[in-house]
């Protein structure tokens, strides 16, 4: 029986879930933003915040060993220790946020962006969307054919 087991299963076997979370945490730390399903983003948000908190530890050797349990790539560990720990010195929690995006076209799954707070990655703005729409309209105009 599953009494008081509150972790999300993510519709996978436990070892597959752990590997998927590890992959996604590595991606978030390297690229500072990923787009995934809302449920996955909610699970990963807590792990990302925990890893950044570990990176702020004063004993660097211990912090590196603990971070490597959550990520695959050494560059992600290095980025947490050198960049993200300094960026979030004054912040105690809430290093990431889940921003709902919409639904996926194929199966209608709810999508969300998992973004690190104060990230250098720009968000999609209305200007970009307007530019994309205007370029589509320009392409859709028919060019009259030359008579033979």
85-111 pLDDT, tens per residue? Answer: 999 999 999 999 999 999 999 999 999
pLDDT > 80? residue 135: no
**Residue 35 to residues 44, 62, 108, 119, 146, Cα–Cα distance (Å):** 12, 31, 15, 15, 46
Confidence grade of residue 133 (pLDDT, cut at 50, 70, 90): low
- Residues sharing a CB contact under 8 Å with residue 28, sequence separation 6 or more, in sequence order: 34, 44, 48, 96, 114, 116
| pTM score, whole prediction | 0.77
Question: What structural domains does the chain harbor?
Answer: 14-119 (3.90.1030.10)
């Amino acid at each position: 029986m599953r009494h008081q087991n509150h972790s999300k299963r993510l519709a996978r076997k436990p070892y597959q879930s752990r590997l998927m979370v590890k992959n996604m945490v590595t991606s978030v730390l390297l690229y500072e933003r990923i787009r995934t399903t809302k449920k996955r983003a909610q699970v990963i948000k807590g792990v990302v915040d925990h890893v950044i908190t570990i990176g702020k530890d004063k004993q660097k050797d211990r912090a590196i060993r603990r971070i490597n349990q959550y990520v695959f790539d050494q560059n992600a560990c290095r980025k947490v220790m050198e960049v993200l720990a300094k960026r979030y010195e004054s912040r105690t929690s809430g290093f990431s946020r889940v921003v709902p995006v919409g639904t996926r076209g194929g199966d209608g799954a709810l999508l969300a962006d998992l973004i690190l707070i104060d990230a250098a990655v720009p968000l999609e703005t209305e200007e970009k969307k307007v530019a994309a729409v205007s370029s589509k309209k320009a392409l859709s105009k028919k060019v009259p054919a030359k008579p033979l």
